[in-house]
Amino acid sequence: MRRDVFQAIADPTRREIISMIAHKSLNVNSVAENFDVSRTAIYKHLKILTECGLVKIKQQGRERYCEAKLEKLSVVSDWVEQYREMWNNRLDSLENYLMELQAKNKDE
Amino acid sequence: MRRDVFQAIADPTRREIISMIAHKSLNVNSVAENFDVSRTAIYKHLKILTECGLVKIKQQGRERYCEAKLEKLSVVSDWVEQYREMWNNRLDSLENYLMELQAKNKDE
DNA sequence: TACATTTGCAACCGAAAGGTTTCATAACAA
DNA sequence: TTGTTATGAAACCTTTCGGTTGCAAATGTA
């Protein structure tokens, strides 16, 4: 079982769950009510999110509140950002090239 | 077939392929040589990466060079960064809380 | 106590993922 | 022309994924 953050956010339903509980914790049923799949399906998604640390569950009576641990997304952020400079540089040099081309055309 | 960038980078082999060709384009066989799965398996990964735009293929004779289109990662970056403020704020308020606690202890 | 609510989890299912072997084809080299 | 190299792709297999129904257990309420 691969249970890392990259795999967890690959599923659109799980990304929606995260956005749903990002601002305000919700119990399992409340999360499930917002989708048209079964509660069990959502429960499984929550389990995957919990296993990689993106969600923490806090028991309150018979309810369990799901809280997003957004800082876990830094793993993804770090991985993507290592490439940002590269793609910016490439876009920059493309822009420069186009600017030079434009300048050249003006001279003619 | 879901073929978005999130799903594409969920697989560790595909992330490795990206890092491998980020600086320098490589042909299919050269990419495959760096892994201990079959060339066909790597070819399939490359197909998935191509289908979501993360890789562009350029034919040169009988070889096909794989080039990383890193700017496609901005979709992921945007999605993650929308939450950065939230998780920073929470860490900040935790830090403040701990600082206050420390200040209080000094007084005693 | 009796009943409703909230949840966990087992058992099952079809489709997709990730891998393999095998073969075909196109480009280059001798 | 003959052989080698680089690649695409079909056919197949096993495991994982995302979903279902059904049931048990714990908590709260009338």
pLDDT tens per residue across span B5-64: 999 999 999 999 999 999 999 999 999 999 999 999 999 999 999 999 999 999 999 999
> What's residue B59's pLDDT?
96
> What's residue A62's pLDDT?
95
Residues whose beta carbon sits under 7 Å from strand D = A 1-2, 7, 10-11, 13, 37-38, 40-41, 44-45, 48, 61-62; B 27-30, 39-40, 43, 46, 57, 62-65
Of residues A22, A73, A83, nearest to B70 (C-beta): A83
* pLDDT of residue B105 exceeding 70: yes
> What's the CA dihedral at B72, A81, A71, A20 to 10 degrees?
-20
Residues 17-56 of A with CB under 8 A from B: 18, 22-23
> What's residue A76's pLDDT?
98
Of residues B22, B84, B91, nearest to A83 (C-beta): B22
| Closest listed residue to residue B77, CA positions, set A68, A18, A87, A92 | A87
Query: Whole-prediction pTM value?
Result: 0.88
pLDDT tens, per residue, chain A with 108 residues: 558 999 999 999 999 999 999 999 999 999 999 999 999 999 999 999 999 999 999 999 999 999 999 999 999 999 999 999 999 887 777 778 788 888 777 665
> What's residue B2's pLDDT?
53
CA of B54 to C1' of D3 (A): 36
Of residues B9, B71, B83, nearest to A70 (C-beta): B83
Chain B closest CA to A107's CA: distance in Å?
Answer: 33
* Test mutation, B5, B6, B76, B90, chain A, max A CBs within 10 A: B6
Read off the pLDDT of each residue in B91-105 and give the average, rounded to a whole number.
78
Mapped onto helix, strand or coil, the DSSP state of residue A34 is coil
* pLDDT of residue B94 exceeding 60: yes
Contacts of A67 (CB under 8 A, 6+ apart): A21, A25, A55, A56, A57, A58
| Closest listed residue to residue B84, CA positions, set A66, A77, A81 | A77
